[in-house]
Structure 1
Amino acid sequence: MHAPVLVLKDSLKRESGSKVHHANIQASKAVADIIRTTLGPRSMLKMLLDAGGGIVVTNDGNAILRELDLAHPAAKSMIELSRTQDEEVGDGTTSVIVLAGEMLHVAEAFIEKNYHPTVICRAYNKALEDAISVIDKIAMTIDVNDRATMLGLVKSCIGTKFTGQFGDLIADLAIDSTTTVGVDLGQGMREVDIKKYIKVEKVPGGQLEDSKVLKGVMINKDVVAPGKMRRKILNPRIILLDCPLEYKKGENQTNAELVKEEDWEVLLKMEEEYIENLCMQILKFKPDLVITEKGLSDLACHYLSKAGVSAIRRLRKTDNNRIAKACGAVIVNRPEELQESDVGTGAGLFEVKKFGDEFFAFIVDCKDPKACTVLLRGASKDLLNEVERNLQDAMSVARNILKNPKLLPGGGATELTVSAALKQKSSSIEGIEKWPYEAAAVAFEAIPRTLAQNCGVNVIRTMTALQGKHANEENAWVGIDGNTGAIVDMKERKIWDSYNVKAQTFKTAIEAACMLLRIDDIVSGIKKKQAPGAGPTPSKPKIEEEGDADNEQILPE
């Protein structure tokens, strides 16, 4: 019966018990420390070198963690957190990591005192429920149609980013674009799909101030025959196709036997007639612009340009969908099935312009566009990439508010309010869970503390003063001004956070901390790298070295 045990020892690296807890907590703290300095308006930038030798300069938590290459499984799951946060609400990617790191840090003391992880998790979950009920109380609802409030809100969310220094510019772009693509579903629900219907086009050159939201779509294409086709059309009638305007060649098993010379001409004539027929079916509807996702043959191009129609070919499907949304056209699969209702008449202008060496086609001045393009101009590619990342965050914030128009105070005020409320409540909790619950309350202070650290003020003095203020429930809106480190009222400074982002941050951070605490075994299978017939080499269990990634398992309790 001993043999299987030997085999198991041979092929598995295993660590268990408190050793794993400590290793996981250390790894999570290391990840949190990397991006701790990127929280708040006074944040530092990180310069990352990627595998291809390119550089990324950013202070967006998610962008930084995306580039890290880590072996430790616990650290990997921390990185997953910021990605989840980014996909779900688009902001608060740094806060989530800092908070989760702190939650694990305060749990370390209890693990040393031999508390069972389940007890700590139970206390944390209780703290999470209470935290959500606290922020429900202090949230205030706003009117999404009030432009000034919306501007202030989006600005306070991107004030921490690199483009904060350009004032209202990015906030304006974000609000304009998200309100453009918002679709009312009735019953007070709104669908705002910023990934699908907002395209960000980065064109190096010009000033950042030249960036704008186009009431329509811009694509990196020119007309098929620039000499013959118009490059500027007012109020164009647009037909969108996703079929090729080319002669359908037979598949490879087609055999045509040509006996006489005239047969060849017949074949060519058939081809011409087929294409002419196709074009006539399209020209019946008097379009000014025909756009297809597939190819467009020279012959078709000739028929269209003779009729004074401009054409664009090989467009991306996503761009075609955007144009359809912007000008009210319907994408048609077969020219035979065209109807008058499929023609898009909502656009005010079609124009081809040249930026630098490239041509861009604009379909703009749409009457009621449900898709739009944000045109970003700027000095360099790196700058534009960072501006685009910040714009994505700003658009997510605007989207969150359109979906759930509730606000919370920024500047760490929310966390301090939650922390004070939980501390008060912890006195009424009985049993062993009281202490971890209290520790969770303290952990929430990590956010305002980090903000104060990044401002360079005296952290202990500032935190003590803030805790004193928050002991009184009327001061729920007092927090740290991220630029100066002064203690101010967030309502006056108009520093807000979106309710969705905060709630998601708390939930993600605490649930992740609980998950990591409940891991008590890390087992990774390693492939034997040795000559056949050689004896097994005893391997020291070492958790930082990743074994074989495919066999890596994290066993449940």
Structure 2
Amino acid sequence: MYNGQQPIFILKEGTTRTSGKTAQSNNIAAAKAVSDAVRSTLGPKGMDKMLVDSMGDVVITNDGATILKEMDIEHPAAKMIIEIAKTQEQHCYDGTTTAVVIAGELLKRSEDLVDQNVHPTVICEGFRLASDKASELIDSHSISVDKAMLYEVAKTALTGKSAGAVKEFLAEISVGAVLSVARVNGDEVVVDLDDIKVEKKQGGSIKDSTLIDGIILDKERVHSGMPQSVDGAKIALINSAIEVKKTEVDAKIQITDPNMLAQFLDEEESFLKGLVDSIVAAGANVVICQKGIDDLAQHYMAKAGLFAIRRAKKSDMEALSKATGGKIVTNIDDLSADDLGQAALVDERKIGDSDMVFITGCPEAKSVSVLLRGGTEHVVDEIRRAFDDAMGVAAVAYEDGAVLTGGGSVLAAISRDLRAYAEGIGGREQMAIEAFAVALEVIPRTLAENAGLDPVNTIIDLRKAHSEGRSTYGVNVYDGGVVDMTKSSVYEPSRVVEQAVQSASETAVMILRIDDVISSKGGGGMDGGDFDGFDM
């Protein structure tokens, strides 16, 4: 009772509400737990995680975005951290772990400031100033790209993944693929990664992976009587069924005379033969059909010496059209020699335990394929993830034309410059900018920790090198100490670092500004309970 009056309930029963510092520390603790979950995967000496889902399916990876996607996370603040990894993956393909670890560290540092009675909005303002300044500083550290550098960028992305043992080999394939599909529009370079088709097949070793100047289809020819390979292929791309047309409306055909039945069947037969004849007449010797092909039509095609595939995916049809220069035709009667695509060779090969069709030697291939191999399914899946990262960073670096030295060197340099910048700002924001600067050093520190080095000594050596103006020095994870990253050829695209710093600070600011959590589902995971009990 309040002064003899009934208490007023504005929230539904079962709603929990946490506010003030409790809410903040809960959110920060959840975010830190997520960042700690992926922290050990950072860098060349990072370890992998094995994730088992409720169905018992296993994923083994050290790709930050994949780990966070597969983890079953309840806590809403932790989910916001996962969004960072998703954004990073979409825009930059790499640096997901970096972004998440920086966000976790920013929140950890801000918690110390809140304890010192610095108001969250002041911290947010300081973080905002610091992240804007960091963007300017990143531009000043960037190095312009040449093709040899792309290869180093791809190699850096592959280091520390299970594909690291064959990084030179995979880096060559990924850079080759990117350069094949890159188009120059005026001053800018555009790389559309959809033009690179990646097929994975288990069996063989990783070294059996290849880049193909054309398209691979996970299909086989429809009839064993067809030739197994066709030189100088003229390819008809057809997206309608090569079958007898059915009527759209329900129709009955009454046959009263046996001769009529024979006539009817002959009609169907000659219709199909007519379709095949018009394909042959157009000069095609390979048919890729998006829909079905009637058995009888298959027979006629085999007789005519055509090579045919049915039920190709729409995406494959579009890729084929780009690679071979052919047009996708709906009406077979309209097919002409101008619509045909060209390739030097179309052949069916046995890969692993299934047949695949290779369409190679396309004169102006604007679309290429990569076939990835590996001993087991898990290996192939992880190679695929590593390859996507390598291909993505090569594309990003080529598009932006700018890279940075890796090994935590740029973040250490920015951290140093931000400290100097903070002194000129003054006020309480200065504390927040300094906290931001210290937080950026979490990356070189974590690289050292994961490599089994002493993090304190490493950071001291790094700061010393940077104070002497050696701004390209980063952590040497192999031999300890610090080393010039340009000599070790460790590079990453500017966009990766910039996006990581930006999205980490934006998310940290967002989480810091929350001072009240009202949860209407009976407090599941929201009442500051066991937030880090991940279902892993």
Check 1:495–1:462 CA distance in 2 against 1; reply closer, same or farther (3 A cut): same
Indicate conservation of the 8 Å contact 1:71/1:544, yes or no: no
Shift of 1:539: 11
Instruction: Please show how residues 12-91 of structure 1 align to structure 2 within 5 Å.
Output: 12-91=15-94
Mean Cα displacement is larger for which, 47-56 or 230-239? 47-56
Alpha-carbon distance between aligned partners in 2 of 1:481 and 1:156, rounded to the nearest angstrom: 13
| Correspondent of 2:419 among 399, 416, 423 | 423
| Correspondent of 1:132 among 131, 135, 141 | 135
Find the counterpart in structure 1 of residue 499 from structure 2. Answer: 504
SS in 2 for 1:10: coil
Indicate conservation of the 8 Å contact 1:279/1:303, yes or no: yes
| Correspondent of 1:517 among 512, 515, 520 | 512
Shift of 1:3: 8.2
Alpha-carbon distance between aligned partners in 1 of 2:353 and 2:459, rounded to the nearest angstrom: 55
SS in 1 for 2:242: coil
Shift of 1:379: 1.3
**Are 1:372 and 2:371 matched, yes or no?**
no
Mean Cα displacement is larger for which, 120-129 or 358-367? 358-367
Gaps of 5+ in 2: 532-536
Instruction: Please show how residues 420-499 of structure 1 align to structure 2 within 5 Å.
Output: 420-472=416-468, 474-499=469-494
Alpha-carbon distance between aligned partners in 1 of 2:467 and 2:8, rounded to the nearest angstrom: 58
**Are 1:359 and 2:355 matched, yes or no?**
yes
User: What amino acid does structure 2 have at the position aligned with 1:139?
Assistant: S
Deviation readout 1:256-298 (Å, 9 max, x if unpaired): 2333333333432332333233223222212110110101101
SS in 2 for 1:176: helix
SS in 2 for 1:243: coil
Alpha-carbon distance between aligned partners in 2 of 1:167 and 1:259, rounded to the nearest angstrom: 72
SS in 2 for 1:40: coil
Find the counterpart in structure 2 of residue 542 from structure 1. Answer: 527
**Are 1:403 and 2:402 matched, yes or no?**
no
Shift of 1:341: 2.1
Deviation readout 1:1-57 (Å, 9 max, x if unpaired): 988943625142211111111001101111111111111111111111122212221
Alpha-carbon distance between aligned partners in 1 of 2:208 and 2:238, rounded to the nearest angstrom: 33
TM-score, structure 1 normalization: 0.91
Deviation readout 1:493-550 (Å, 9 max, x if unpaired): 11111111111111111111111111222222237xxxxxxxxxx999724489xxxx
Find the counterpart in structure 2 of residue 535 from structure 1. Answer: none
Check 1:104–1:540 CA distance in 2 against 1; reply closer, same or farther (3 A cut): closer
Find the counterpart in structure 2 of residue 188 from structure 1. Answer: 187
Find the counterpart in structure 2 of residue 389 from structure 1. Answer: 385
SS in 2 for 1:39: coil
Mean Cα displacement is larger for which, 236-245 or 450-459? 450-459
Deviation readout 1:51-110 (Å, 9 max, x if unpaired): 221222111111111111111110111112111111111000100011000000000012
Check 1:371–1:262 CA distance in 2 against 1; reply closer, same or farther (3 A cut): same
Alpha-carbon distance between aligned partners in 2 of 1:254 and 1:116, rounded to the nearest angstrom: 77
SS in 2 for 1:295: coil
Shift of 1:440: 0.7
Find the counterpart in structure 2 of residue 298 from structure 1. Answer: 295
Check 1:75–1:408 CA distance in 2 against 1; reply closer, same or farther (3 A cut): same
**Are 1:153 and 2:153 matched, yes or no?**
yes
Q: Which runs of 4+ in 1 moved over 4 A?
A: 1-4, 538-541, 543-546
Alpha-carbon distance between aligned partners in 1 of 2:247 and 2:7, rounded to the nearest angstrom: 63
Q: Percent identity?
A: 35
Check 1:283–1:27 CA distance in 2 against 1; reply closer, same or farther (3 A cut): same
Check 1:34–1:541 CA distance in 2 against 1; reply closer, same or farther (3 A cut): closer
SS in 1 for 2:373: strand
Instruction: Please show how residues 113-124 of structure 1 align to structure 2 within 5 Å.
Output: 113-124=116-127
Deviation readout 1:152-203 (Å, 9 max, x if unpaired): 221122213221122401101111111112222x212222121x22222222
Check 1:43–1:541 CA distance in 2 against 1; reply closer, same or farther (3 A cut): closer
Shift of 1:460: 1.1
User: What amino acid does structure 2 have at the position aligned with 1:475?
Assistant: R
Find the counterpart in structure 1 of residue 202 from structure 2. Answer: 204
User: What amino acid does structure 2 have at the position aligned with 1:517?
Assistant: L
User: What amino acid does structure 2 have at the position aligned with 1:285?
Assistant: A
SS in 1 for 2:179: helix
SS in 2 for 1:376: strand
SS in 2 for 1:385: helix
Gaps of 5+ in 1: 528-537, 547-557
SS in 2 for 1:257: coil
Alpha-carbon distance between aligned partners in 2 of 1:539 and 1:207, rounded to the nearest angstrom: 47
Indicate conservation of the 8 Å contact 1:455/1:484, yes or no: no
**Are 1:338 and 2:335 matched, yes or no?**
yes
Alpha-carbon distance between aligned partners in 2 of 1:104 and 1:278, rounded to the nearest angstrom: 67
Alpha-carbon distance between aligned partners in 2 of 1:86 and 1:359, rounded to the nearest angstrom: 33
| Correspondent of 1:267 among 264, 271, 296 | 264
Find the counterpart in structure 1 of residue 314 from structure 2. Answer: 317
Check 1:282–1:56 CA distance in 2 against 1; reply closer, same or farther (3 A cut): same
Alpha-carbon distance between aligned partners in 2 of 1:58 and 1:451, rounded to the nearest angstrom: 18
Indicate conservation of the 8 Å contact 2:32/2:105, yes or no: yes
RMSD (Å) for aligned C-alpha atoms: 2.1
Check 1:463–1:540 CA distance in 2 against 1; reply closer, same or farther (3 A cut): closer
Find the counterpart in structure 2 of residue 94 from structure 1. Answer: 97
Mean Cα displacement is larger for which, 57-66 or 88-97? 57-66
Mean Cα displacement is larger for which, 267-276 or 24-33? 267-276
Alpha-carbon distance between aligned partners in 2 of 1:167 and 1:486, rounded to the nearest angstrom: 24
Shift of 1:232: 0.9
Alpha-carbon distance between aligned partners in 2 of 1:157 and 1:220, rounded to the nearest angstrom: 28
Alpha-carbon distance between aligned partners in 2 of 1:282 and 1:460, rounded to the nearest angstrom: 72
Check 1:167–1:6 CA distance in 2 against 1; reply closer, same or farther (3 A cut): closer
Find the counterpart in structure 2 of residue 231 from structure 1. Answer: 228
Alpha-carbon distance between aligned partners in 2 of 1:167 and 1:109, rounded to the nearest angstrom: 41
Alpha-carbon distance between aligned partners in 1 of 2:229 and 2:260, rounded to the nearest angstrom: 43
Find the counterpart in structure 1 of residue 179 from structure 2. Answer: 179
Shift of 1:312: 0.7
Alpha-carbon distance between aligned partners in 2 of 1:355 and 1:242, rounded to the nearest angstrom: 27
Shift of 1:340: 2.3
Check 1:540–1:479 CA distance in 2 against 1; reply closer, same or farther (3 A cut): closer
Check 1:496–1:257 CA distance in 2 against 1; reply closer, same or farther (3 A cut): same
Deviation readout 1:364-417 (Å, 9 max, x if unpaired): 122221112211222111111111110000000111011111111110110011
